[in-house]
Amino acid sequence: MPATPLRIALTLDDAPSVAGRADVAPGDPSRMDRILEVLQRGQVRDCAAFVIGRMAAGEERRLARWLEAGYALGNHTFGHANADRVEPEEFLRDVERCDALLDSIGAFAQGRPRLFRYPYLRRPGHPERRRWLEDRIETLGYRIVPAGLDTFDYQFEVPLGRSVARQDAARIARVEVRFLTAATRALVGDARALEAHERRSVRHVAFAHFGIVADRCLDRLVDRLRAAGATFVPLAEALEDPIYLRYRVEEAANGRVAGALVPRSLAGRIRRWAVGQSMRLGLFAQREYGPLRPHLAE
């Protein structure tokens, strides 16, 4: 098919900061301010930040600055639990607790939408529990926001955090380039695979996190994606794509729409297996510098 421009809505999870690991890449809420600057400088005018209530305590001013700059805040629960591992009633209380916090800082004022994203993109596996929970979340006024395209930034948090902690410039550069190469390849590859499967241009939702990787690399990732033909579109516009209605009813789908909806060809499965084997052989480099093909590593 002809290469149409990729239309991507960018979203960021775990605002104001991923919890991180104290020994390698501790959480750092000031990332949210730097990332806001990157978005503004890079003219990415729409980006929803999904807030972990527990990480936001005391950071209300920072969250308010994000809103004042015209960007959206969404609900990512208070404690970041896996919805497939806790009781739906307990999970719902966690959503409501984050809702109260967001409401108190005016996140939904002036007609701003209520956006919700599952931690780890995990929905309850049991269909009845899932339906019960999603009905309640939607009754609260939320739109459940899936993510079609993964940057896999979380797989580089430890390698990059460790390199920064050691102040090893060569190592930092190596991890960053690996991330940028892998993320661009994964995003563009998954987007094109989904479009080939749908036989049309799709409006995509991509996600990354408020971690050390986005803090250091988001500006360059935006540049690389633009160089690969991407334009950044508002989330509301992307969510009108029919693919996300299918996500709503899809029984087995997890949050990553492209991975869930595109059936893999036999050739693709063999290639995936072969790459997986070679990655296991190169385990040391994968652990130290991050995976080269993270989308195949799962």
Work out how close the CB of 170 gets to Zn ion at its nearest, in angstroms, rounded to a whole number. 31
Return d(Cα 71, Cα 63) in angstroms, integer.
Answer: 10
Residue 116 near residue 95, CB atoms below 8 Å: yes
Q: Is the CB of 117 or the CB of 216 nearer to Zn ion?
A: 117
Q: Please report how the helices 31-41 and 212-227 are oriented relative to each other, as an axis angle in degrees rounded to 10.
A: 10
- Please report whether residue 291 would count as binding Zn ion according to CB under 5 A: no
Work out how close the CB of 283 gets to Zn ion at its nearest, in angstroms, rounded to a whole number. 26
Amino acid identity at 139: T
- Please report whether residue 94 would count as binding Zn ion according to CB under 5 A: no
Q: Is the CB of 18 or the CB of 292 nearer to Zn ion?
A: 18
Q: Is the CB of 13 or the CB of 59 nearer to Zn ion?
A: 13
Residue 212 near residue 160, CB atoms below 8 Å: yes
Amino acid identity at 241: D
- Please report whether residue 13 would count as binding Zn ion according to CB under 5 A: yes
Residue 32 near residue 15, CB atoms below 8 Å: yes
| Residues 103-122 as x/- pattern, contact with Zn ion by CB under 5 A | ----------------x---
Q: Any idea what DSSP says for residue 275?
A: H
Q: Is the CB of 98 or the CB of 180 nearer to Zn ion?
A: 98
Work out how close the CB of 116 gets to Zn ion at its nearest, in angstroms, rounded to a whole number. 12
- Please report whether residue 176 would count as binding Zn ion according to CB under 5 A: no
- Please report whether residue 14 would count as binding Zn ion according to CB under 5 A: yes
Q: Which two tokens stand for residue 278?
A: 């070679």
The count of chain residues that interact with Zn ion, using the rule CB under 5 A, is 3
Question: Alpha-carbon Rg of the chain, whole angstroms?
Answer: 19
Binding site for Zn ion (CB under 5 A): 13-14, 119
